[in-house]
Structures are given as C-alpha cells and as structure tokens.
Amino acid sequence: MDWDNAMNILNNWKMLDLVTRDGQELVCIEGRVYGSNPRFPSSSHIRTSPITAYALDGNSMVVTTRRGSEYVLGKPDPSETFAQQRLLRRLSRLMPTTADAFDALESQLTGFDDNAQQNRRLATAAKES
C-alpha cells in the first residue's frame, strides 16, 4: 500500500456501531478529514460509508470503506479511550480472518493436532453409547 500517495487522514475520529433495519451490523467512522479529496475541503467533518477492510503498518491503521475510499486513522477523539484497539476488536468480529490469513511464524500457537477434534468426537460418542 502506497500511503505516501495523497491518502486522506481522519483525525479526531470515533467508531460508530450501526445496525440496519434488517439487522446487519456495520461499522463507520466519523471524524475530520485532511488530505486531497476534492469532495471534502480540508478539516471537513465526515462520516465514512461502512468499513469493509483494514490494514496495519507499524503504528498506522488504514481503513477501506464500502465505496472504496481509504483513510489513514490519525488521532482519535480524546473522549474515545483505546479507540484503535476497540475498532480492531469490533472489525475482527465483523470480518473474521480466513485460514489463508494464518501466519504460523507470527502465531503463538506452539502445536496443533489435526486429529484432536476427531478423537474428542469419538471419545464423546463412546461415552454416550
């Protein structure tokens, strides 16, 4: 991701948990946008369309919206304690990672037995019969 290429920054941001009429849970972000987006004069207060993806790079977080816009999250609203951690937790529940995203080197998992679940099922079935 080329973050130096005129990406908009959202400062004084906060997460908004929204639920549609049909029960779909969405996460949007509200804040002041700074950058080169011609739709918004610098320092405009905006609300994003729902967040569909995010990426982390060091201390920076970039969110992608349903409309395809990307924003670097700057400083959160001072009233929002642990804003980035709360946002990450919320997004991870809405967008569970796939098995393809598993990185064994970064994981703290020290061992895994693929047959363990099957063995537990067999043991449970034997106890029940």
Judging by DSSP bridges, how do beta strands 70-73 and 8-19 pair with one another? Answer: parallel
The sign of the torsion formed by the CA atoms of 24, 56, 48, 64 equals negative
CB 54, CB 1: distance < 8 Å: no
- Distance between CA 107 and CA 14 in Å, rounded? 30
The answer to whether residue 127 scores a pLDDT higher than 80 is: no
The answer to whether residue 124 scores a pLDDT higher than 80 is: no
Q: How confident is the model at residue 126 (pLDDT cuts 50, 70, 90)?
A: low
> What is the domain partition of the chain in residue ranges?
8-101
Residues 99-116 pLDDT 10s: 445 554 555 555 555 565
CB 71, CB 29: distance < 8 Å: yes
Residues 43-81 pLDDT 10s: 889 999 999 999 987 888 999 999 999 999 999 999 998
The sign of the torsion formed by the CA atoms of 15, 18, 91, 6 equals negative
pTM (whole model) above 0.75: no
